[in-house]
């Protein structure tokens, strides 16, 4: 996993522009998932002339450099987050739309088992759960 604390190290070999610096900072500050549109909304506050095209081009670069990961969380648009050394998975609440991250050691075991049994080489594993978060579950119970 790359060191993303130091931007200048992180994107060595590519020009470090003000836009890229800003965007990576914003993604880092988002502290979770963010999609292109929301990133654009936040970026405009600091740089009112930045364009959506730059957002997309930067996201692609960051992804290729391994700085961020792209997720498809059942929604229409992709979500991005800073690459994290610790693997984690996602739960999306059907009521409130909240995305909750979790992790569980069984997942690695599962990946290992599947690789062995099926002969795959796995480069990426996503475990995606959908349902009701604790709060919304309570609400449902109360209303019924």
**Where on the chain is the footprint of its own copies (CB under 8 A)?**
72, 74, 91, 94, 100, 102, 104, 106-107, 109-111, 113-114, 117-134, 137
What are 79's strand-pairing partners? Answer: 35, 71
| One of 9, 17, 104, 115 touching DNA (CB under 7 A) | 17
Cα separation, 32 vs 45, whole angstroms: 20
Q: Is the dihedral of CA 70, 71, 72, 78 positive or negative?
A: negative
What b/e string do you get for 62-75 counting C-beta neighbours within 10 Å, with b at 16 or more? Answer: beebebbbebebee
The binder of 16, among DNA, its own copies, none, by C-beta within 5 to 8 A per type, is DNA
User: Of 47 and 101, which has the nearer Cβ to DNA?
Assistant: 47
Does 45 engage in binding with DNA (CB under 7 A)? no
Among residues 6, 29, 32, 37, the one that binds DNA under rule CB under 7 A: 37
62 versus 93: smaller Cβ distance to DNA: 62
DSSP assignment of 26-63, as one string?
HHHHH-S-EEHHHHHHHHHHH-TT--HHHHHHHHHHHH
* Cβ–Cβ under 8 Å, residues 70 and 80: yes
Do the Cβ atoms of 81 and 69 come closer than 8 Å? yes
Site for DNA in 48-87 (CB under 7 A): 49-54, 56-61, 76-78
Q: What does 96 interact with, of its own copies, DNA, none (CB < 5 to 8 A by kind)? A: none
Q: Pick what 25 binds: its own copies, DNA, none; C-beta below 5 to 8 Å, kind-dependent.
A: none
Positions touching DNA (CB under 7 A) are 14-20, 35-37, 47, 49-54, 56-61, 76-78
């Amino acid at each position: 996993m790359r060191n993303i604390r130091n931007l200048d190290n992180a994107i060595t070999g590519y020009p470090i522009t003000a836009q890229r610096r800003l965007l990576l900072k914003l993604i880092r500050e988002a502290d979770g998932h963010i999609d292109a549109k929301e990133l654009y909304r936040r970026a405009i506050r600091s740089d009112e002339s930045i364009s959506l095209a730059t957002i997309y081009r930067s996201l692609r670069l960051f992804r290729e450099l391994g700085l961020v990961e792209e997720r498809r969380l059942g929604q229409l648009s992709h979500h991005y987050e800073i690459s994290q050394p610790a693997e984690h998975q996602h739960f999306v609440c059907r009521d409130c739309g909240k995305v909750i991250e979790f992790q569980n050691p069984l997942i690695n075991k599962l990946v290992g088992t599947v690789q062995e049994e099926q002969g795959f080489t796995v480069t990426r594993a996503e475990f995606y759960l959908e349902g009701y978060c604790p709060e919304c579950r309570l609400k449902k119970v109360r209303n019924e």
